């Protein structure tokens, strides 16, 4: 088994902590060791770039500075502040977990690993990260960045889904972990993976671990770790209805096929072909509205990806002035879409429609040649 010896581990530990003290970035969640703030940051940072997270984190903490405030908030408001960040299950779990904290833990994130892991959406990584950073407990954390640093440090073949590879990394991390500063040590390794030990073209001359890094000595750091197997991308089609009425734009809760539940979207349906997606959309409208309004041939298309799906989106314009929509439907004023709990796909569609409408307004000859897609979609301003 690949293993770092104690002397090598101690020297490497000191080097990486010294580097972190000198080079750590000023990030908003590092200004406080409050367990709640640390927990929110760790949830937001899952599968999301730091630069993207920062404004969301600051807005979220401003509105929900404590678990008690978050627990009392309507889920709709939580999703509004999360809108655009993606992976919305994280927001729903965060909300549910905050309610558990209030009911079972006095509003405080527990300092016990088993209790922390019992919270909705809190897995082993998140629990260990919060306990090490906020409570200074000696737990090592293993994410993709740390795995890359450690695989190169050890010149270890494999990838995280492989049990033996993961077990070897965890054992070596326990040897390397600083018992005095576990939180700083964990953040140092994550920072190293984010800024220096990059997947491609790693900045080895700037790395505090290069003296002990076996991959560096072998001159092949990019060979570690091996790429993890990826699910094959699936091509599919989405028919989206841009229905305009006297009260604005008609939106429906959720997208389709269980995707984006809890968020507002243009009424949509997925299918293996454009025609099948359109047929399912019409059925969805008949079920929700009692009838399917006439839809124009799509003038706008775009591409969007959700997890393993590569989606061809076709936008069908129409009008709806019938009875008030049933549950699961709601009117939105175009100017309010960007502030609502909507998906990123909804934002893209709204932007597409707004840009097209603005182009028509700027070209009176074009407007005369064809009907405006949605005559009152934008009152002189872009949506986004």
Task: Give me 246's structure tokens.
Answer: 């006297």
Cα–Cα distance measured from residue 1 to residue 216, given in angstroms and rounded to the nearest whole number = 19
80 CB contacts (<8 Å, ≥6 apart)? 339, 340, 341
Burial 23-47 (b: 16+ CB within 10 A, else e): eeeeeebbeeebbbbbbbbbbbbee
Q: Which of 367, 357, 335, 348 is nearest to 249 (CA)?
A: 335
Indicate which residues carry an active-site annotation: 42
Count of positions (residues) in the chain:
384
Is 323 exposed, middle or buried (CB count within 10 Å of its CB: 0-12, 13-18, 19+)?
Answer: exposed
| Measured CA angle at 334 (ends 75, 52), to 5 deg | 55
Task: Give me 87's structure tokens.
Answer: 């992976």
- Packing angle, helices 6-23 and 182-195, rounded to 10: 70
Q: Which helix (H) or strand (E) holds 361?
A: helix 344-362
Q: Which of 23, 27, 48 is nearest to 38 (CA)?
A: 27
149 CB contacts (<8 Å, ≥6 apart)? 189, 192, 193, 197, 209
End-to-end CA distance of the chain: 54
């Amino acid at each position: 088994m690949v293993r770092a010896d104690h002397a090598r581990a101690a020297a490497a530990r000191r080097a990486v902590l010294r580097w972190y003290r000198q080079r750590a970035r000023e990030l908003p969640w590092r200004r406080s060791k409050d367990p709640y703030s640390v927990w929110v940051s760790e949830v937001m940072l899952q599968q999301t770039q730091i630069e993207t997270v920062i404004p969301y984190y600051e807005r979220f903490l401003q509105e929900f500075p404590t678990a008690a405030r978050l627990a009392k908030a309507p889920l709709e408001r939580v999703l509004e502040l999360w809108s655009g960040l993606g992976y919305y299950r994280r927001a729903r779990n965060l909300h549910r977990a905050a309610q558990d904290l209030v009911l079972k833990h006095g509003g405080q994130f527990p300092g016990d690993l088993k209790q922390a892991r019992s919270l909705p959406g809190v897995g082993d990584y998140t629990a260990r990260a919060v306990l090490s950073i906020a409570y200074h407990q000696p737990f090592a954390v293993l994410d993709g960045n740390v795995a890359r640093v450690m695989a190169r440090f050890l010149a270890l073949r494999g990838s995280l889904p492989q049990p033996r590879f993961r077990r070897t990394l965890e054992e070596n991390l326990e040897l390397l972990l600083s018992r005095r500063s576990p939180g700083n040590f964990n953040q140092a390794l994550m920072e190293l993976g984010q800024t220096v030990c990059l997947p491609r073209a790693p900045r080895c001359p700037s790395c505090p671990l290069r003296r002990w890094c076996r991959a560096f000595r072998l001159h092949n750091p990019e060979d570690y770790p091996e790429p993890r197997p990826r699910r094959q991308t699936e091509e599919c089609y989405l028919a989206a209805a841009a229905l305009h009425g006297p009260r604005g734009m008609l939106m429906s809760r959720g997208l389709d096929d269980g995707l984006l539940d809890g968020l507002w979207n243009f009424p949509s349906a997925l299918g293996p072909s454009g025609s099948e997606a359109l047929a399912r959309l019409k059925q969805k409208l008949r079920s929700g509205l009692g009838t399917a309004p006439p839809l124009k041939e799509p003038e706008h298309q775009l591409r969007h990806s959700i997890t393993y799906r590569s989606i061809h989106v076709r936008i069908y314009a129409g009008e709806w002035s019938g009875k008030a929509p049933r549950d699961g439907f709601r009117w939105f004023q175009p100017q309010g879409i960007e502030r609502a709990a909507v998906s990123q796909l909804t934002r893209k569609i709204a932007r597409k429609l707004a840009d097209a409408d603005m182009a028509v307004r700027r070209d009176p000859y074009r407007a005369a040649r064809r009907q405006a897609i949605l005559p009152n979609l934008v009152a002189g301003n872009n949506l986004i």
